[in-house]
Amino acid sequence: MHEVLQDQLMSMARYVRDPQHNAPPPGIEARRLAVYRQLFFGNVESLLSGGFPVLSASLGPKRWQALIESFYADYRCQTPLFTEISGEFVDYLAEGGGDALDLPPWVVELAHYEWVEAALLLSDQREPGHDPEGGLLEGVPLLSNLAWPLAYQWPVSEIGPDYLPHEAPEQPTLLLASRGSDLNVHFSRLAPLAHALLDSLQAQHWTGHQHLQALAEALGADSASILPQGLALLENLRAQGVVLGTRALRAT
């Protein structure tokens, strides 16, 4: 009895997920199946349309509908939480989902850019212990968990229905996304040096001096010449709350 019920439920789930490639379960009239399909699919479509307004408007109704249908039919989400489905959708695109639909090459990056705002807005990460007045050259600068340096090949902050680029520009789009004390997410443009420094802070637990020394070597510059500019940048980032201070030393 349980096996029969399970088979019926799975048959219905397969049909609701992808009615084009699965037979409808026996004994249920088409009108009722259409209602179930609209309820389940409509919820996901509404959620993703709200989370990716620029992407959906840029693709247009037909391609957006086809993309959501492809995601709904083919992807197996790893979370039961509605608030995390947008992240699953970004993963789906990054893994090549929707490739058969001949989507524009900027779709993956634009989706990620739009997702970042919601991810930071809903983040419940706590900041680790730190010294807000610590020396940023001798100590280990600590980047806020709510400040993300971003680099995109495509000009994601400019793409929209009225601007659909066909070729990526020579220079990448470097951004900082951060959630401020006002609980809003802010995006700002970054110069290459600032992005490289933030990227280094995110990747390595080095002293500020070590970070700047590594940047100088990467640029082929004299570390003495880059040190004042780098320290000023670190202090400015601390004033903005992007750098919290220095990491607290652990007791041995």
Provide Rg for the chain, Cα atoms: 24
pLDDT tens digit string along 28-70? Answer: 767 776 666 677 777 888 999 999 999 999 999 999 999 998 9
CATH value at residue 164:
3.90.930
Nearest to 118 by CA among 97, 142, 88: 88
pLDDT tens digit string along 121-174? Answer: 999 989 999 999 999 999 999 999 999 999 999 999 999 999 999 999 999 999
79 belongs to a structural domain? yes
Across the chain, mean pLDDT equals 88
Diameter over CA atoms, the chain: 79
Q: Which residues form the domain of 139?
A: 128-252
Residues 252 and 177 in one domain: yes
Distance CA 53, CA 80 (A): 23
Angle, alpha carbons 209-152-242 (nearest 5°): 40
Residues 175 and 224 in one domain: yes
Residues 82 and 8 in one domain: yes
- Answer whether residue 116 shows pLDDT above 60: yes
- What's the number of domains the chain is made of? 2
Residues 11 and 53 in one domain: yes
Residue 201: pLDDT band by 50, 70, 90 thresholds?
A: very high
Which residue has 């790893």 as its token pair?
A: 78
Q: Between helices 208-219 and 223-240, what is the axis angle to 10°?
A: 130
- Answer whether residue 183 shows pLDDT above 60: yes
Are 30 and 24 in contact by the 8 Å Cβ rule? The answer is yes
Which residues, other chains included, contact 245 with Cβ-Cβ below 8 Å and sequence gap of 6+? 130, 131, 132, 133, 134, 136, 139, 141, 142, 238
Residues 147 and 241 in one domain: yes
CATH value at residue 87:
1.10.150
Residues 132 and 225 in one domain: yes
Which residue has 């002293």 as its token pair?
A: 207
Residues 77 and 182 in one domain: no
Residue 120: pLDDT band by 50, 70, 90 thresholds?
A: very high
Q: What is the pLDDT of residue 251?
A: 36
Q: Give the tokens for residue 101.
A: 């639909």
Q: What is the pLDDT of residue 10?
A: 66
What mean pLDDT comes out for the span 93-106?
91
Q: What is the pLDDT of residue 8?
A: 62
- Model confidence, pTM: 0.86
210 belongs to a structural domain? yes
Residues 133 and 249 in one domain: yes
Residues 167 and 234 in one domain: yes
- Answer whether residue 72 shows pLDDT above 90: no
Which residues, other chains included, contact 151 with Cβ-Cβ below 8 Å and sequence gap of 6+? 172, 173, 174, 175, 195, 199
Q: What is the pLDDT of residue 81?
A: 79
List the alpha helices (DSSP H) in the chain: 2-17, 30-51, 53-59, 61-74, 85-94, 107-122, 192-203, 208-219, 223-240
Residues 138 and 95 in one domain: no
